[in-house]
Amino acid sequence: RLCGGRVENLGELHALAVKAGVNGVMMGNFLTTLGSEPEDDRAMFEALGLNTARQPDNGSNPRPDNRSGWLEGDAPDTPVDRLIDRRGEVPLWDPAKQLRHRRKSSVPARPDGAPNRGLEGVGAPKDPDPDETPTEELPAIVLVEPEAA
């Protein structure tokens, strides 16, 4: 499906994604942020040769809601839930254990001729930088906005 963020994320590539073969589309402002106007979406789909006529079965068999309470309870376990109970059991990649580290015995000269920094104590153990040590928490997803040209 091609849904959230079509205008903001895809922009002019929206029509290309439709040509590539989407199997479902939400038209108009169905999400928390405003999208295209339904008329604009419909015009684009028609320009691409798609049938945008209303169908007699639209919304005739929606998914059930839980007003009656018959869907109450916990979601069933997935196969992964049955296999892994704790985070410690997950085989995560640890580069400190799985890569071979060998300290440099010398540092080559810089191409710009500037002096190298950090040559003191080459080969000697040093205190790790707390910003460079691995953490136990998962990395956060960070949205980086492109700089204005």
The model's pLDDT over 7-26, given as tens digits with 9 standing for 90+, comes to 555 667 777 777 777 766 66
d(CA 1, CA 62): 17
The model's pLDDT over 96-132, given as tens digits with 9 standing for 90+, comes to 777 777 777 777 888 888 887 765 545 545 566 666 6
d(CA 28, CA 34): 8
Residues 6+ apart with CB under 8 A from 119: 107
Q: pLDDT-derived band of residue 2, with 50, 70 and 90 as boundaries?
A: low
Whole-number pLDDT of residue 61: 64
Cα distance from N-terminal residue to C-terminal residue, the chain: 32
3-state secondary structure of 73: coil
Q: Which of residues 123 and 133 earns the better pLDDT score?
A: 133
Whole-number pLDDT of residue 54: 77
Q: Which of residues 67 and 81 earns the better pLDDT score?
A: 81
Pick from 6, 14, 87, 5: nearest CA to 48: 14
The model's pLDDT over 24-38, given as tens digits with 9 standing for 90+, comes to 666 665 555 566 677
**Full-model pTM:** 0.33
